[in-house]
Structure 1
């Protein structure tokens, strides 16, 4: 009840209290985000503080509030850190893409690593977001963002995270993907082929093998799946039960 009152009539003096209660985000996330958003001009700094400390449903409410703010600092954070790997990211991925004008940001010739890597994660979320938020098939700039993401991968080279993201995108854009989220797989064939071509390059394969040897969690999980076993980097890896 107290937080509801703060959400309605709170002032800047109440921000520390709202933030503290907002850390219990599974229960109090919606009201805390609303309270901070309704302050004059929207308190982007306070919302960003909270966004860096909450997960799950709490993160959904805070990110959605940040998407509604016309604030440069919020936009920069959304471009780099909105998606944290949680399945619930699907509720806000489309809003992040639209609020940040992602298709314009990623089109820049030399975006930093964080934006390029986060764009890959965001695209991947859109491939399974049916029933939760905007899907890749309904995102109006999908082709432009996919093409730009591929250009940056070719420029930046491989890492464990980029390899995993590219591999899952290649799988999700094909016949094995979620048809309700991607629509006809034929629409994405050229992009899928380009991701697969990257994954087949020796330098990318070597990066994946090193990550596997180091037991990098994302690459390890990928190598144990059917899509992963079809990749050249893991072609000689024993299947479960064959070690």
Structure 2
């Protein structure tokens, strides 16, 4: 990018107000919404200028979800032709700043997600070496700060990310606070600022969904002790699935090293519980079998729990993790025997014995009963689910509590499912009578329709399906 700039080329000649029909700039929307928030407070439910164009058949992806799923799970399609078209449109635009050229580029970009073609676009632009860097920079900033279309903004962010030595940290941190753009901002920050780990950490703390996943994944090689501590205590947690980041944070944060210290804080223990639970759950990313330090980390974690004095109560999450570990490494029959698969994963027979003994010690603590009963009365759904899971371990009957929650909110309560799992005929009869009395069957019997069947408005349909399915195995 070393050609001489043409004096006739000006950004003002693009007439963005006309081309983009004076629609609100996404960057301005994000900046205005972020202004009153603390640096680590996430944006919530901010509608973007082009949301209407990205809603298909009544369904809309959560911010950043489409690019997140494409990046983690979908095969990369061959879109070289589209990439070449976009490169040519960019070249034309940088040769002649005309509204027609900007309109053409916008149409190419808004046709489909840009994620799949970005690498090809940027590689060709950078490798050519014949573009004016100042003009490239000016155009990139325009696309980021002025466009009302998300795919155009994403290209602009990515263009900033190849301008080495050009620190647009504030612009990238601002637009990256919206989950739709965090991935692109994270990549750009990683490639252009002097202290990328600190910038990525700031970005990661400001988002909770797919944005956090993208930002934290790019901290996998950090050596900053403060960031590594945060990864273990908070960084793994997100609103999508903790399973996406559990392994990354366990390794990058050196979970086993942190737990092998003689004294640890409660935040680390709680974080370790969350990470181990996610690894044991398995799912879309690396799990407990991929974590090479799983055995020593689990043993160190349980050592702290088993030595904890009774007057320092533990949260229910620790009981549940101890049970998960017991199920994972416990005996298949009555006797604990060597298991070749577990041994290859680092779980020797001696380690398993020690871990199982400590799991039993944790399970015998005296605070669990009171916490379960208190949690079953809690309004918070997450706390209730945690208590419900623990109740099953302690043989506490949670069915009446599920009944109470359904009676309080029959149209939306997720407690219908555990209610119909009862083997007690009298209890099941109570459920049927409650369903007939509370569910608006006439209201939802509308016949076939061209709808996705997704969203809160279809919760009642899902509840009815749960009840009908439970009837299959019932007499009468």
TM-score, normalised by the number of residues in structure 1: 0.79
- Bigger mean CA deviation after superposition, 48-57 or 115-124: 48-57
Whether 1:9 aligns to 2:171 is no
Unpaired stretches in structure 1, ≥5 consecutive residues: 178-182
Structure 1 match to 2:172: 18
Q: Describe how 1:75-86 pairs up with structure 2 within 5 A.
A: 75-84=228-237, 86=239
Whether 1:70 aligns to 2:70 is no
Of Structure 1 and Structure 2, the greater helix share is in 1
Which residue, out of 152, 164, 180, partners 2:317?
Answer: 164
Whether 1:195 aligns to 2:366 is no
Unpaired stretches in structure 2, ≥5 consecutive residues: 1-154, 331-340, 403-418, 420-426, 431-476
Which residue, out of 80, 102, 123, partners 2:276?
Answer: 123
Deviation at 1:79, TM superposition (A): 2.1
Cα pair 1:91 1:129 within 8 Å, conserved: no
Structure 2 match to 1:230: 392
Give the match's secondary structure for 2:218: helix
Residues 72 and 198 from structure 1, CA distance in 2 versus in 1: closer, same or farther, beyond 3 angstroms?
closer
Deviation at 1:15, TM superposition (A): 0.7
The CA distance in 1 between the partners of 2:165 and 2:208, in whole Å, is: 25
Residues 32 and 191 from structure 1, CA distance in 2 versus in 1: closer, same or farther, beyond 3 angstroms?
same
The CA distance in 2 between the partners of 1:216 and 1:197, in whole Å, is: 29
Whether 1:174 aligns to 2:336 is no
Deviation at 1:33, TM superposition (A): 0.9
Which residue, out of 293, 296, 310, partners 1:141?
Answer: 293
Q: What whole-Å deviation, never above 9, does each CA across 1:151-191 have from its counterpart, x for those lacking one?
A: 222327434xx31343155146517x9xxxxx76xx56763
Whether 1:95 aligns to 2:248 is yes
Cα pair 1:60 1:88 within 8 Å, conserved: no
Structure 2 match to 1:150: 302
Residues 153 and 218 from structure 1, CA distance in 2 versus in 1: closer, same or farther, beyond 3 angstroms?
farther
Query: Whose relative contact order is higher, 1 or 2, with alpha carbons under 8 Å and at least 6 apart?
Result: 1
Deviation at 1:192, TM superposition (A): 5.1
The CA distance in 2 between the partners of 1:74 and 1:35, in whole Å, is: 19
Runs ≥4 residues deviating over 6 A = none
Q: Describe how 1:105-120 pairs up with structure 2 within 5 A.
A: 105-120=258-273
Give the match's secondary structure for 1:68: coil
Structure 1 match to 2:454: none
Q: State the Cα RMSD in Å.
A: 3.1
Count of residue pairs the alignment pairs up: 230
Deviation at 1:94, TM superposition (A): 1.4
Residues 20 and 192 from structure 1, CA distance in 2 versus in 1: closer, same or farther, beyond 3 angstroms?
farther
Residues 116 and 137 from structure 1, CA distance in 2 versus in 1: closer, same or farther, beyond 3 angstroms?
same
Structure 1 match to 2:31: none
Give the match's secondary structure for 1:224: helix
Deviation at 1:207, TM superposition (A): 3.2
Cα pair 2:157 2:184 within 8 Å, conserved: yes
